[in-house]
Amino acid sequence: MTGLRWPSRTRACTFPCPPIPLTVWADEERAVQILTNLVGNALRHTPAGGRAQVTAGINGTHVILTVTDTGAGISPEHLPRIFDRFYRADPARSRTDGGSGVGLTIARGLAEAMRGTLSVHSVPGQGTAVTLTLPVGPP
């Protein structure tokens, strides 16, 4: 993928390269849009000295990309709603300092349109992992 545009905030980011090429059956621009959103969220919610990481691998017929951070995490009561349009787990955040509340909604819709999934696992005080799965591309 090319054309990734990351937020300019400085955080430790790791982008490990898998030992084999990963080819996905997906719209490149939409996949970049999803990953840009996920990495932007990870960076926004990772404090100075924290860590944001992107990992990739293959699980059978799907490529799995996971964006993790060492931020505050998401409380269990908010997890079922984070993909809802305009939902913000922290009502004190405004559009100027916290986004519009539609990024994850759009990202999930794009993933599903490409026959993939977007899921989240989070532990308060430890961080969040968002996993994008996309079908493996043709040989």
What are the backbone dihedrals phi and psi of residue 21, each rounded to the nearest 5 degrees, phi first?
A: -65, 145
Q: Which domains does the chain have, with CATH numbers?
A: 18-135 (3.30.565.10)
In sequence order, what are the residues at sequence separation of 6 or more whose Cβ sits closer than 8 angstroms to the Cβ of residue 93? 99
The tokens describing 132, both together, are 């994008």
Q: Maximum CA pair distance of the chain?
A: 48
Structural contact between residues 54 and 39, judged by C-beta atoms closer than 8 angstroms: yes
Helix (H) or strand (E) holding 56: strand 51-59
User: Whole-prediction pTM value?
Assistant: 0.78
Band of residue 122 on the pLDDT scale cut at 50, 70, 90: very high
- Measure the CA–CA gap between 118 and 109, rounded to whole angstroms: 9
pLDDT (tens digit per residue) in 51-101: 999 988 888 889 999 999 999 898 888 888 787 786 666 554 444 555 566
